[in-house]
Amino acid sequence: MSLSTTDFDYIRRLVRDRSAIALEEGKAYLAEVRLGSLARREGFPSLEDLIAKVRADGDHIGGLQQRVVEAMTTNESSFFRDVHPFEALRKVLIPELITRRAGTRRLRIWCAACSSGQEPYSLAMLLREHFGSRLEGWEVSILASDLSTEMLERAMAGRYSQMEVNRGVPAALLVKAFRKEGRDWQIKEEIRAMVDFRRINLIDPWPILRPMDIVMLRNVLIYFEAGTKRRVLDGMAGVLAADGYLFLGSTETTLNLSASYDRVEVDRTFCYRPRAGVTRPTRA
């Protein structure tokens, strides 16, 4: 299935308007692959027919326009991806936060682009495996959000292929946190129950959120233009607790984008803390 220049330009505008993700001019091949798969699933004989329907479709959650945007913005994920942030959390940051939060006994984490769920489940497994007894009786909240309803449904199901669990889950942890179902692996309910999945589009107004101790915003900013990066980063600074931590992808930075953060090195990785004077919500 091939995509005309006119149709690709329309898709680029649609994706940018709905997600703020800027598709490069040379990415028509990616649109042909991803939208070709969508066209076949939806029963359209050609990309031209699919896009004609998309143009006529109403702008509503769950509609064809949204499914096109989701097809073009879904990104790869894996368990314990880029392991150094998880090691920093395990060795340094979670122990520090447990000490600081001893009075309130609350720990709040937000995975702001959770895709198919591997990142929030990795955090849930880390907390349960290494801090289960220390967090007993605590209010531990892991919010996992994404703009894709399809990805959220898959994440909530918590079912992964052998190949997916092989990418990052140690064998000893696999048998503790998953159960085998046919050829797949199902996350155990006690892990799944630690995560609250919600649809949040980072370019839309966010719901009211309680202050977060940790925000994972990894490999998201690279798809945004500078203005959107600034708005999202400044918004995150307002959501983080005063002594909270923001994690970005290994190639991402706040430099020349937001003055709301100080960069800190922890173990073998970097993260960001809100700079003093940044307006934040009251902790509750």
Q: Residues 53, 156: one domain?
A: no
pTM of the model: 0.85
Cα dist from 249 to 139, 175, 271, whole Å: 28, 29, 9
Q: Residues 105, 39: one domain?
A: no
Mean pLDDT of 83-112: 98
The residue range of the domain holding 136 is 84-274
Partnered with residue 239 across adjacent β-strands are none
Q: How far apart are CA 125 and CA 184, in angstroms?
A: 18
Per residue in 159-190, pLDDT tens?
999 999 999 999 999 999 999 999 999 999 99
Q: Residues 204, 239: one domain?
A: yes
Q: Residues 58, 140: one domain?
A: no
Q: Residues 91, 60: one domain?
A: no
Q: Residues 47, 88: one domain?
A: no
Give the chain's domain count: 2
Q: What secondary structure letter does DSSP report for 45?
A: S
Q: At what angle do helices 5-19 and 64-73 cross, to 10 degrees?
A: 90
Cα dist from 46 to 9, 51, 53, 177, whole Å: 17, 9, 11, 43
Q: Residues 61, 100: one domain?
A: no
Q: Residues 68, 88: one domain?
A: no
In a domain, 213, yes or no: yes
Instruction: Find, among 234, 235, 245, the residue nearest to 200 by Cα.
Output: 235
Listed residues 27, 49, 73: the one ending a domain: 73
Per residue in 26-72, pLDDT tens?
778 888 888 888 888 888 988 888 888 888 876 554 588 888 888 88
Mean pLDDT of 99-128: 97
pLDDT-derived band at 194 (thresholds 50, 70, 90) equals very high
Identify the CATH number of the domain in which residue 10 sits.
1.10.155
Q: How far apart are CA 277 and CA 260, in angstroms?
A: 9
Six token digits for residue 242: 């005063």
